[in-house]
Amino acid sequence: MWNWFHKLASPPHFYRLAGIFSPWMLWSSLILIAIGTYGGLVLAPADYQQGEGFRIIYVHVPSSYLSTMIYALMAVTSGIGLIWRIKLAHAVAASAAPIGASFTAVSLLTGMLWGKPMWGTYWEWDPRLTSELILLFIYFGYMSLRASFEDISKADRAGGLLAVVGVVNLPIIHYSVIWWSSLHQGPSIKKLDAPSISGDMLWPLLLLIAASTLFFGALLLYRVRAEVLDREHNSRWVQDLLGEMPGAG
Amino acid sequence: MTRLSAINLTLWRGPNCLFEELSFQVDAGSLLLVRGSNGSGKTTLLRVLSGLTRPETGHVEWCGESIEKTRQTFGAALAYFGHADGLKADLTVTHNLEFSAQLFGQSGEQIPGLLNALNLSQCAQLETRYLSAGQKRRTALARVLMSDAALWLLDEPVTNLDAAGREYVEDRLHAHVAGGGLAIAATHEDIRITSESPDEIFLGDGA
Amino acid sequence: MNLSRFFAAIVRRELQIAFKRWGDLASPLMFFVMVASLFPLALSPQHEMLRNLGPAVLWIAALLATLLSLNALFRGDIEDGSMEQLVLSPYPLALAIFGKTVAHWLLNGLPLVMLAPALAVTYYLPVEGVRALSLTLLIGTPTLSLLGAVGAALTAGVRQSGGLLALLVLPLMLPVLMFGARATDLAGSGEQITGPLYLLSALLLLALSLLPLASAAAIRISLD
């Protein structure tokens, strides 16, 4: 087990393996996304309360889910990188951050688009939207901190520490926001979720969540591959690799 | 067995390799000089040996154990004279040294004598912001000299010293080594403590 | 020297240095007062509105003043090399960092707590509101110092780090702000605030137990 782990963490091995897996993951995720989108936009009936507007959950829910999941992944890989000093783990965390920030932004945007017909305004200080906004700030903080270091191993360790501190804070922030909004004396806010969802609405949603996760996995592998090449550009195996490529060297 | 061992140290700074697979050891009662041109990584090597900078590969052992695992024991055995003086500009020379004495677990009664020997008595009550570069350096040296640490890591210990100060430092270094201490000094000048020249390692292309 | 005397020595030295630099101590406080007085000037000095805004404005001003004072927390020590000496000393670095953070709170947080009631009066907060403001600041500002210390340690080696520090620690400070300002608000309208006070205390305990370790780890990274 440990041996397998170490072999995977070796950059050339990972580079090769990721190169084999990533196209498969990308294409299968795209096909699944197409099926799910068809199911969600065409097959599923309109919601009796929210009408056609509810269909935005097929984008919103997967991206909200991924926005948190990716941060958790960053914290775990950063922890692994800090404790066992595995550079590849740091490379994964660094590559995941911009993807996570993008999903967070998509989740915010779709939430706002949904809000316009439902709340009559693009922005409502709803606890979920607020948490999502704070999460976006945290992603920006992580990326800016990394960018401020020239030395990549310092950026890895500083960013990793911040990711770990942040992941302890995220639940605290989330529950504070819920507590804070429960004190609001505003109009009762309808939450952006589907508590009693029918079967033909549900399966495209679940499929899309799975497909987006797969899509994220493929994107991550592509990004980590590029990151690994960049970090190891001085090493023998990258030089050999470049030598094999037509037109290089 | 009191011994500092560097094992397979490799460190890159950007595109430059400062040292690769560097191994050596320093035993009780010896002095090692680290030589090399400016920018060859002398200071960085001392920082790696102290544990401040983490090498890319390899590790440093003190008495047979990795210094990252025995930080407190190693810290108690180490006096570090770095590139920066480590003095608070707003405190007087004496206050600065008294704080260091506290860290070393000492009363600080030898401070006046040390200041005298380093030709600093006249600025004992001066805030270190008013000191010249050489005087600050000597104040920082006083901290090393008053510690009873077994290992001295010294970055350019005799630069900015006059002939008398230099002789005093060499004498103290000799006494430290003769008493079973270890010292590693990064220097671009010669330091002689006995008739025979000490061990040296060269960094970079300078030979 | 045992650990508690080491801790005391660190705090004493910080205070000794700070008292030679009155200007550095006073400017975050002046900032606090000025931000708080900007709002009545920019809005309008209606008692009703100021009473409603007061808890939030005073808490935000305190938060920003803390942030302002944090930037220099470790910078000087790293530049003059005293941090190297602390890192290499045989004592736990987290304890030294904790000592510095405690000194930071004594020099910056505590004066804010003491100054706040005077400003609360200019916002016409009722007595219960003033009391709640002092109490929440007293429990909340140490957490802010501890959180800020992590950010200051992470950015200590970075140039132009003021904005970065704010970006890193403000989201983490939000729960303290929300509980503190809300509790002050609630107390002003005569409600019980034991709940948020317990939550603020819980946050402080959590911060006390974990954050000095994180700051120490961050300092080691910044020095590398």
pLDDT digits (tens, 9 = 90+) for B39-56: 788 999 999 999 999 998
Nearest residue of B to residue C81 by CA position?
Answer: B86
> In A, which residues are within 8 Å of B56 by CB distance?
153
Residue B91 contacts C, CB cutoff 8 Å:
yes
How close, in Å, is residue A230 to chain B by CA atoms?
Answer: 13
How close, in Å, is residue B73 to chain C by CA atoms?
Answer: 7
> In C, which residues are within 8 Å of A171 by CB distance?
none
Chain C residues contacting A, CB < 8 Å?
150, 154-155, 157-158, 161, 164, 167-168, 170-172, 174-175, 178-179, 182, 186, 199, 203, 210-211, 214, 217-218, 221-222, 224
Mean of pLDDT values over B175-192: 88
Task: Output the pLDDT for position A1.
Answer: 60
Q: Which value, in Å, is the radius of gyration of the alpha carbons in chain B?
A: 17
Q: Is residue B33 part of a domain?
A: yes
The residue to which tokens 């704010």 are assigned: C166
How close, in Å, is residue B134 to chain C by CA atoms?
Answer: 15
> In C, which residues are within 8 Å of A144 by CB distance?
164, 167-168
Sequence-distant (6+) residues with CB within 8 A of C77 are C83, C86, C100
The residue to which tokens 């060297």 are assigned: A249
- pLDDT of B194 > 80? The answer is no
Task: Output the pLDDT for position B182.
Answer: 93
The token pair that represents C159 in the structure block:
């140039």
Mean of pLDDT values over A14-22: 92
Q: What's the number of domains chain B is made of?
A: 1
Sequence-distant (6+) residues with CB within 8 A of A28 are A214
Task: Output the pLDDT for position A189.
Answer: 42
Task: Output the pLDDT for position B88.
Answer: 93
Q: Rounded to the nearest 10 degrees, how much is the dihedral formed by the CA atoms of C2, C7, C9, C14?
A: 170
Q: What is the ipTM of this complex?
A: 0.92
> Percentage of chain B with pLDDT > 70?
97
How close, in Å, is residue C12 to chain A by CA atoms?
Answer: 29
Confidence class for position B199, pLDDT limits 50, 70, 90: confident
How many CA atoms are closer than 13 Å to the CA of C41, on its beta-carbon side? 6
Nearest residue of A to residue C210 by CA position?
Answer: A165
Residue in C179, C203, C221 nearest the CB of A158? C221
- pLDDT of A140 > 50? The answer is yes
| C210 contacts A168? CB cut-off 8 A | yes
Residue in B75, B83, B88 nearest the CB of C88? B75
DSSP characters for C133-149?
HHHHHHHHHHHHHHHHH
Task: Output the pLDDT for position A246.
Answer: 67
> In A, which residues are within 8 Å of B54 by CB distance?
153
The better pLDDT of the pair B119, A51 is held by B119
Task: Output the pLDDT for position C167.
Answer: 94
Confidence class for position A186, pLDDT limits 50, 70, 90: very low
Task: Output the pLDDT for position A124.
Answer: 84
Rounded Cα distance between B157 and B167, Å, is 11
> In A, which residues are within 8 Å of C175 by CB distance?
169, 172-173, 176
Interface test with A, best of C78, C150, C159, C167 (most A CBs within 10 A): C167
Residue in C21, C89, C224 nearest the CB of B103? C89
- pLDDT of A249 > 70? The answer is no
Interface test with B, best of C12, C74, C82 (most B CBs within 10 A): C82
How close, in Å, is residue A156 to chain B by CA atoms?
Answer: 13
Q: How many residues does chain C have?
A: 224
Quickly count helices (H) and strands (E) in chain C.
10, 0
Asked if A135 and A104 touch (Cβ cutoff 8 Å), the reply is yes
* Of residues C71, C135, C149, C61, the one with CA closest to residue C105: C149
The token pair that represents C27 in the structure block:
């400017």
> In B, which residues are within 8 Å of A234 by CB distance?
12, 15
- pLDDT of A194 > 60? The answer is no
Interface test with C, best of A151, A154, A165, A169 (most C CBs within 10 A): A165
Interface test with B, best of C78, C86, C88, C91 (most B CBs within 10 A): C88
The better pLDDT of the pair B189, C86 is held by C86
Sequence-distant (6+) residues with CB within 8 A of C130 are C117, C120, C121
Confidence class for position A195, pLDDT limits 50, 70, 90: low
| Residue range of the domain that includes C170 | 3-223
Q: What is the CATH number of the domain that holds B177?
A: 3.40.50.300
The residue to which tokens 């030089």 are assigned: A239
The better pLDDT of the pair C84, B38 is held by C84
The better pLDDT of the pair A183, A11 is held by A11
Mean of pLDDT values over B168-177: 90
Quickly count helices (H) and strands (E) in chain A.
8, 0
| C154 contacts A162? CB cut-off 8 A | yes
| Helix H or strand E segment including B10 | strand B3-13
- pLDDT of B11 > 80? The answer is yes
Sequence-distant (6+) residues with CB within 8 A of B5 are B23, B24, B25, B26, B60, B61, B64
Confidence class for position A2, pLDDT limits 50, 70, 90: low
| Helix H or strand E segment including A141 | helix A127-147
Confidence class for position B104, pLDDT limits 50, 70, 90: confident
Q: Is residue B207 part of a domain?
A: no
Sheet holding B151-155, edge to edge: B78-81, B151-155, B182-186, B30-35, B199-202
| A169 contacts C178? CB cut-off 8 A | no
| A183 contacts C172? CB cut-off 8 A | no
> In B, which residues are within 8 Å of A153 by CB distance?
54, 56
pLDDT (tens place) for every residue of chain C, 224 residues total: 789 999 999 999 999 999 988 888 899 999 999 999 999 999 888 899 999 999 999 999 999 999 999 988 999 999 999 999 999 999 999 999 999 999 999 999 999 999 999 999 999 999 999 999 999 999 999 999 999 999 999 999 888 777 899 999 999 999 999 999 999 999 988 888 998 999 999 999 999 999 999 999 999 999 98
Mean of pLDDT values over A117-124: 85
| Residue range of the domain that includes B63 | 3-202
Q: Which chains touch C (3 or more CB pairs under 8 A)?
A: A, B
Neighbours of A31 (CB within 10 A): 12
Asked if C24 and C18 touch (Cβ cutoff 8 Å), the reply is yes
Q: Is residue B156 part of a domain?
A: yes
Q: What's the number of domains chain C is made of?
A: 1
Confidence class for position A184, pLDDT limits 50, 70, 90: low
Q: Is residue B46 part of a domain?
A: yes
How close, in Å, is residue C51 to chain B by CA atoms?
Answer: 43
- pLDDT of A119 > 90? The answer is no
The token pair that represents B197 in the structure block:
């020249």
In the three-class reduction of DSSP (H, G, I as helix; E, B as strand; rest coil), residue C207 is classed as helix
* Of residues B143, B174, B139, B153, the one with CA closest to residue B74: B153
- pLDDT of A115 > 50? The answer is yes
pLDDT tens sequence across B128-160: 999 988 899 999 999 999 988 999 999 998 887
